């Protein structure tokens, strides 16, 4: 029996909830969502140990604290799409998926991710 790494991996399971359920329910950003993920999976993921997971959770928590200390809450992104695209050169489909996420056009994101997966697997 192989270990499921993509769809519903056991190391994110709780008692009737998954880590993602908690993250989504509280509307957590990346740093806090990552911290919660590592806390909830600590010691459960094959090949990972509890100490390492908790160090990762601490790192993300500290990053969030630093971000809150140095930034004000705003609805305007602190980076433009052009800055992000320059920093992360991606294939056309992955770039389009990223832009769609940042513009909250998630159906477009799904389309471009599926297209990129098909492109990669057909090579």
Given a cut of 80, whether residue 9 has pLDDT beyond it is no
| Residue 53 counted as domain residue | yes
| 24 and 52 assigned to the same domain | yes
Given a cut of 70, whether residue 61 has pLDDT beyond it is yes
Instruction: Give the range with max mean pLDDT: 31-45, 63-77, 85-99.
Output: 31-45
Tokens 């997971």 belong to residue: 53
Given a cut of 60, whether residue 79 has pLDDT beyond it is yes
| Residue 75 counted as domain residue | no
pTM value?
0.64
| 65 and 102 assigned to the same domain | no
With 0-12 CB in 10 A as exposed, 13-18 as middle and 19+ as buried, what is 28? Answer: middle
| Residue 41 counted as domain residue | yes
Given a cut of 70, whether residue 95 has pLDDT beyond it is yes
Q: Give the residue numbers spanning the domain of 104.
A: 81-122
């Amino acid at each position: 029996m192989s270990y499921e790494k993509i769809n519903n991996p056991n190391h994110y399971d709780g008692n009737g909830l998954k880590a993602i359920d908690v993250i989504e329910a509280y509307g957590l950003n990346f740093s806090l969502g990552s911290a919660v993920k590592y806390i909830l999976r600590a010691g459960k993921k094959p090949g990972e140990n509890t100490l390492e997971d908790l160090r990762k959770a601490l790192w993300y928590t500290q990053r969030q604290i630093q971000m809150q200390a140095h930034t004000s809450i705003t609805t305007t992104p602190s980076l433009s799409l052009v800055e992000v695209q320059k920093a992360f050169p991606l294939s056309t489909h992955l770039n389009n998926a990223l832009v769609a996420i940042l513009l909250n056009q998630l159906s477009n994101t799904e389309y471009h991710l599926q297209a990129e997966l098909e492109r990669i697997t057909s090579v």
